[in-house]
C-alpha cells in the first residue's frame, strides 16, 4: 500500500483529542493513544515542584512590593489556598500555563528542525527558547544528519492509528563522545522531545517511534529504516548543550497492546454515554 501525504489530514476531534482522517475514516494519533493509556510517573513530582515554585514566586513578588515587614506578614497570615492559587495563575506560574509553554516550545523546535531539514530560512526564535535551539544545533553538528523526510504524516488503517514523526535521516557522523551509539551510515526515524532535563522517557517515547516505523514501512510502503531514535533536547547552559540520544531496541509489540486497550476503552465509553466525560 502506498499512501500519499496529501491523503492524510490532521484534525482535532471532539474532546480535543488529536486525530487524523484518511479515506473518510478518523484515526487517533499515536500520542493520544499513549497519553490516554500509559501512566506518567514524572507528572506528579513535576506538578508538586511546580506548585512550590509558583507559591514561592508569588511570595517573592509580595515581599518585593511590601513597604513594611508587617505588609508581607499580613499577606501570609491572611491568604488562603484559593487566593494563592489564583495569584499563581495570574502570574502564569500554574501547571496549565507551564504545559502551554512546553507545548509552544516543542512547536518552535519542530518548526526550526523542519526549516533546517528543508534548507529553508530558520524561523525567529524567542530568546527564552534559544537554549533549546542551541542544544539541538549541537546535536545536528555532532551527527550531521542528511534529511530524507521531515514532519512525515503516517497512518495505519489496518491497526487503526495515525500520527506525525519529526524526521527520517541518514546519519553521517559519530559524535565526539564515545558513549553515544554509533549511527553512522544508518537510516534513522527520529523524534525530538524537549524538556528541561533533556531526558528521553523510554516508557512513553519508545512505543511512539515503534508505532511510526511500523506504519511508515509496512502500512504505507515507505523505505526501510535501520533504527528508531528519540532525541531528548534540554536547554544549553554555559555553552554546554544538553541532549540525550536513545535508540529503540524494542519492536512494534511494545505499542500494539496500547492500541487494543485504547479501542476497548473507547467501546466502553460509547456503550456508557452517561459515564464520566472526558475533559
- Distance (Å, whole) CA 171 – CA 131: 23
Among residues 246, 264, 265, which one has the least CA distance to residue 208? 246
Tell me the three-class secondary structure of 252-271, residue by residue.
Answer: HHHCHHHHHHHHHHHHHHHH
3-state secondary structure of 171: strand
Q: Which fold has domain 5-37+127-271?
A: Lambda Exonuclease; Chain A (3.90.320)
Mean pLDDT of the chain: 84
| 126 compared with 200, residue with greater pLDDT | 200
Grid cell listed for 79: 491568604
Using the predicted structure, report yes or no on whether residue 203 has a pLDDT greater than 90. no
Residue pair 139/198 in contact by the 8 Å Cβ criterion? no
Domain boundaries, the chain: 5-37+127-271, 44-90
Task: Tell me the pLDDT band of 272, cut-offs 50, 70 and 90.
Answer: confident
Among residues 210, 186, 158, 214, which one has the least CA distance to residue 22? 158
- Strands (E) across the chain are located at 8-12, 18-22, 25-28, 145-156, 161-171, 187-194, 227-237, 240-248
pTM of the full predicted structure? 0.78
Task: Tell me the pLDDT band of 16, cut-offs 50, 70 and 90.
Answer: very low
| 76 compared with 189, residue with greater pLDDT | 189
| 7 compared with 49, residue with greater pLDDT | 7
CA angle 12, 18, 21 (to 5 degrees): 70
Query: Residue 80: its pLDDT value, please?
Result: 85
Amino acid at each position: 500500500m502506498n499512501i500519499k501525504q496529501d491523503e492524510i489530514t490532521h484534525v482535532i476531534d471532539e474532546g480535543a483529542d488529536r486525530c487524523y482522517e484518511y479515506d473518510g475514516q478518523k484515526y487517533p494519533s499515536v500520542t493520544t493513544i499513549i497519553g490516554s493509556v500509559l501512566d506518567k510517573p514524572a507528572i506528579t513530582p513535576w506538578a508538586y515542584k511546580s506548585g512550590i515554585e509558583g507559591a514561592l514566586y508569588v511570595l517573592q513578588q509580595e515581599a518585593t512590593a511590601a513597604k513594611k515587614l508587617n505588609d508581607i506578614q499580613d499577606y501570609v497570615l491572611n491568604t488562603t489556598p484559593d487566593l494563592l492559587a489564583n495569584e499563581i495563575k495570574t502570574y502564569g506560574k500554574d501547571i496549565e500555563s507551564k504545559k502551554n509553554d512546553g507545548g509552544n516550545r516543542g512547536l518552535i523546535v519542530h518548526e526550526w528542525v523542519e526549516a533546517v531539514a528543508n534548507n529553508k530560512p530558520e524561523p525567529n526564535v524567542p530568546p527564552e527558547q534559544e537554549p533549546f535551539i542551541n542544544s539541538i544545533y549541537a546535536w545536528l553538528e555532532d551527527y550531521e544528519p542528511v534529511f530524507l523526510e521531515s514532519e512525515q504524516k503516517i497512518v495505519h488503517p489496518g491497526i487503526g492509528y495515525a500520527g506525525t514523526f519529526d524526521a527520517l535521516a541518514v546519519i553521517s557522523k559519530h559524535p565526539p563522545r564515545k558513549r553515544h551509539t554509533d549511527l553512522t551510515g544508518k537510516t534513522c526515524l527520529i523524534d525530538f522531545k524537549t524538556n528541561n532535563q533533556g531526558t528521553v522517557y523510554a516508557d512513553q517515547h519508545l512505543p511512539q517511534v515503534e508505532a511510526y516505523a511500523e506504519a511508515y514501512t509496512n502500512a504505507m510502503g515507505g523505505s526501510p529504516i535501520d533504527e528508531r531514535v528519540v532525541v531528548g533536547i534540554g536547554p544549553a547552559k554555559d555553552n554546554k548543550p544538553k541532549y540525550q540520544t536513545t535508540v529503540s531496541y524494542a519492536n512494534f509489540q511494545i505499542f500494539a497492546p496500547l492500541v487494543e486497550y485504547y479501542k476497548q476503552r473507547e467501546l466502553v465509553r460509547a456503550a456508557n454515554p452517561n459515564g464520566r466525560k472526558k475533559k
